[in-house]
Amino acid sequence: MRIEDLIYGSLEELEIVVSGALPRTLNVDGWETLRELCAGKMMRGDVPLDVRQRWARLALEIIDRQYVEADERKKVAEAAYIRAFMIREFGAGSSGPATDPAGLLRDVSDAIGVTIEEARNEAENWRSLEPARMLRLRRIKNMLTDTQGHGRVCEPRRPSPP
């Protein structure tokens, strides 16, 4: 199956394909394309909530399959963005464990592998670090940014006053 066929197919078709034989046949760019498609669809305000939640769950399934043999930090970093969005937009607990704020924080904390203070100290001299350590710090930053939401952990957005 070609990636073009998947992009223009229905959500139902994509759910079936992702849960089936796709992992053996799709390259890295294909996974990335599908994850971005799902993430974009989950954010569309003109799509019914239940459909947006399905797109979000599919994005998480794609991340699980995409990073089967990858560094766990990379997988958690990708999933943290989707999960934090789900918690903010759909509500804590609305989609099972994926929307559990405490679970998200625990997963991110476990994936970081260092204390916040240790990461902060290492980041002070980030320009002198080797590229692999820079990338590690970047993933830590991304995970923390997704979970903190301006100092608040995955709080739902509140409508702006008129």
Q: Taking a C-beta distance cutoff of 8 angstroms, is the pair 83, 53 a contact?
A: no
Q: Which of 108, 2, 91, 103 is nearest to 52 (CA)?
A: 91
In order of 8, 81, 120, 136, 139, the CA distances from 123 in angstroms are: 42, 21, 5, 10, 12
**% of the chain beyond a pLDDT of 90:** 30
Helix axes 28-42, 11-19, angle to 10 degrees: 140
Say whether pLDDT at 12 is over 70.
yes
Q: What is the pLDDT of residues 78-114, one digit of tens each?
A: 899 999 999 989 988 888 899 998 888 888 888 888 8
**% of the chain beyond a pLDDT of 70:** 85
What dihedral do alpha carbons 57, 59, 65, 66 form, nearest 10°?
-160
Q: Which of 6, 2, 94, 10 is nearest to 57 (CA)?
A: 94
Distance CA 128, CA 133 (A): 10
Mean pLDDT over 18-30 rounds to: 72
Ordered by start, the domain boundaries in the chain are: 1-69, 72-155
Question: Tokens representing 6?
Answer: 């998947």
Q: What is the pLDDT of residues 114-151, one digit of tens each?
A: 877 788 888 898 899 999 989 888 888 877 777 765 33
Please tell me the pTM assigned to this model: 0.78
